[in-house]
Chain A
Amino acid sequence: MEEYYSLPQPEEISEREKEDAMGAYLMMFAAVAIGLPLPIINLIASFIYFYINRKKSKFIHFHSLQSLLSQIPTTIINWGLVVWSVTIFFKDDWKLTPEFWGYAIFAGSATLLYFVYGLIAAYKARQGKMYYFLFFGKIAYEAAFKVDTNSQKIVSEVNKPPF
């Protein structure tokens, strides 16, 4: 039976934690703007953010991991667009096919949709609320709130009572 830590309620979360959790999403927007021609900067920035903040609290751990993971698909999609564009530029003399435009529309709308959800998540995080993305929300919840029974065993074996 899997055990989970109880979820912190908004009034139990400090302002600082709420801001840090919100920052995980907002920082992504800034990183995307900087790394627009190379959609990998956002992922690197999110990873650093997650790595630095993950131990501050479970609430921050959840939001920063959700932000990091959920960027992977759009990053891959946008990389596809970059690679395709470069190929067209060097090999096909900018021969833009309907397939390319179709993919560009797909990549653009996927990124836009993701931005909308990112903003909603940032807003919820600022209010001290959980907000679960499809698929990634569950993984992030599992990673942040699941009780690690194995590590508990080790802890209990190390610190033994004096008698």
Chain B
Amino acid sequence: MHKNLLKDFLVLLSLGGILLVTGYFISKKIWNADVDLNIKISFEQENKLGEVFNEMILNQYSVIENNAVDSALHIISNRLTRGLDSTPYRYQFVILKSKEINAFTVPGGNIYVFSGLVDFTDSPEELAAVLAHEIGHAEKRHVVSKLVKELSIAAILGSLSGGDPSLIARLLKEIIGNSFDREQETEADKFGLTLLEKAKIAPKNLARFFEKLNSKDLDYNENLEILMTHPHNNKRIENARRYKVGNDFQALPFDINWEKVKMSIR
């Protein structure tokens, strides 16, 4: 009797184990569908896609270029990209003339910031925090994965060969207007916070920027990407606030006259 029971128990345990392992592998398989992006859309294709978007963006918005802005962006982007260990992208940061408080990333590593956002920041460190978050979206390939969810790979790749302009416009609207899912936002935050630390910029600047967005009664479109999953972002503010820097961390302030930069974009 006892031997039989033990045998039964072992069989039951093995069945449970098989079920658990199977469940894990199924989930891993589904989870890795995103990783398959690397196979479906190469970085070269992503870069080309970025060029198509860039062309359309430049047709829609005017770019702000002046010595103050260019020099500030150069300093900030240099510091951030030096913090990246390795990257398949050549990041370009562009300021677009618009009162919207927003920033977005297109495939290929081009990051666009609206002048309204620059005006909203109190320091170059705050802008760097937003850019670090956007770099997080690019590095984690959130933009491409969002596009793939919206459209078939064939349609996206079709737009590379100068396909349907209305389709590209729709994709662009998707990129600028809609937020990523909460998990991707959290992932981009995490990446951004680590990058800020590596770039010797206090990660608290990201929390400060979020708090400002939350506290001010702004007349904005709630779907703007940079506003994330507002108003559920308290947890994200808390995460950014609680981010622990290493003991040897010492913030290196930017030597930029921020008021002058802000004046130059108005």
Asked if A pairs with B, the answer is yes
**What is the interface of chain A, defined by CB distance below 8 A to chain B?**
2, 73, 93-96, 98-99, 101-106, 109-110, 113, 134-135, 138-139, 142
- Interface membership of B11, Cβ < 8 A: yes
Contact indicator A102/B27 (Cβ below 8 Å): yes
CB distance from A66 to the nearest CB of B (A): 13
With contacts A94-B183, A96-B183, A98-B31 taken as known, whether A103 is within 8 angstroms of B20 at the C-beta atoms is: yes
CA distance A73 to B5 in the complex (A): 16
Give the interface centre of B19, B25, B236 by most chain A CB atoms within 10 Å: B19
CA distance A76 to B87 in the complex (A): 45
Contact indicator A109/B23 (Cβ below 8 Å): yes
Contact indicator B30/A101 (Cβ below 8 Å): yes
Smallest CB-CB separation from A107: which chain B residue?
B23
Interchain Cβ contacts under 8 Å between A and B, 18 examples: A93-B186, A93-B235, A98-B27, A98-B31, A99-B24, A101-B23, A101-B31, A102-B26, A103-B24, A105-B27, A109-B19, A109-B23, A110-B16, A135-B5, A135-B11, A135-B12, A138-B8, A142-B1
CA distance A141 to B195 in the complex (A): 63
Q: Which of B48-86 contact A (CB under 8 A)?
A: none
**A-contact 0/1 string along B22-58, CB 8 Å cutoff:** 1111111011000000000000000000000000000
Smallest CB-CB separation from A103: which chain B residue?
B23
Cross-interface CB contact of A98 among B4, B19, B22, B28, cutoff 8 Å: B28
Contact indicator A102/B186 (Cβ below 8 Å): no
- Interface membership of B212, Cβ < 8 A: no
Contact indicator B24/A102 (Cβ below 8 Å): yes
CB distance from B210 to the nearest CB of A (A): 14
With contacts A93-B182, A105-B27 taken as known, whether A138 is within 8 angstroms of B12 at the C-beta atoms is: no
| Chain B interface, DSSP helix/strand/loop, else mixed | helix
Identify the 10 closest CB pairs spanning chains A and B, nearest first. A102-B24, A105-B23, A106-B23, A101-B27, A135-B8, A102-B27, A98-B31, A106-B20, A93-B235, A102-B23
| Chain A residues whose C-beta falls within 8 Å of the C-beta of B28 in the assembled complex | 98, 102
Contact indicator A138/B1 (Cβ below 8 Å): yes
With contacts A105-B27, A139-B5, A142-B1 taken as known, whether A134 is within 8 angstroms of B12 at the C-beta atoms is: yes
| Chain A residues whose C-beta falls within 8 Å of the C-beta of B4 in the assembled complex | 138
Smallest CB-CB separation from A94: which chain B residue?
B182
| Chain A residues whose C-beta falls within 8 Å of the C-beta of B1 in the assembled complex | 2, 138, 142
- Interface membership of B249, Cβ < 8 A: no
CB distance from A139 to the nearest CB of B (A): 7
| Chain B residues whose C-beta falls within 8 Å of the C-beta of A103 in the assembled complex | 20, 23-24
- Interface membership of B239, Cβ < 8 A: yes
Chain B count of residues within 8 A CB distance of the other chain: 26
CB distance from B149 to the nearest CB of A (A): 16
Q: Which of B184-223 contact A (CB under 8 A)?
A: 186
CA distance A43 to B4 in the complex (A): 26
Contact indicator B186/A95 (Cβ below 8 Å): yes
| Chain B residues whose C-beta falls within 8 Å of the C-beta of A138 in the assembled complex | 1, 4-5, 8
Contact indicator B24/A93 (Cβ below 8 Å): no
| Chain A residues whose C-beta falls within 8 Å of the C-beta of B11 in the assembled complex | 134-135
Smallest CB-CB separation from B239: which chain A residue?
A93
Contact indicator A93/B8 (Cβ below 8 Å): no
Contact indicator A102/B20 (Cβ below 8 Å): yes
CA distance A101 to B31 in the complex (A): 9
Cross-interface CB contact of A73 among B16, B23, B26, B186, cutoff 8 Å: B16
CB distance from B19 to the nearest CB of A (A): 5
CA distance A91 to B24 in the complex (A): 22
CA distance A90 to B186 in the complex (A): 14
| Chain B residues whose C-beta falls within 8 Å of the C-beta of A134 in the assembled complex | 8, 11-12, 15
CB distance from A137 to the nearest CB of B (A): 8
CA distance A93 to B236 in the complex (A): 8
| Chain B residues whose C-beta falls within 8 Å of the C-beta of A93 in the assembled complex | 182, 186, 235-236, 239
| Chain A residues whose C-beta falls within 8 Å of the C-beta of B25 in the assembled complex | 102
| Chain B residues whose C-beta falls within 8 Å of the C-beta of A96 in the assembled complex | 183
Smallest CB-CB separation from B26: which chain A residue?
A105
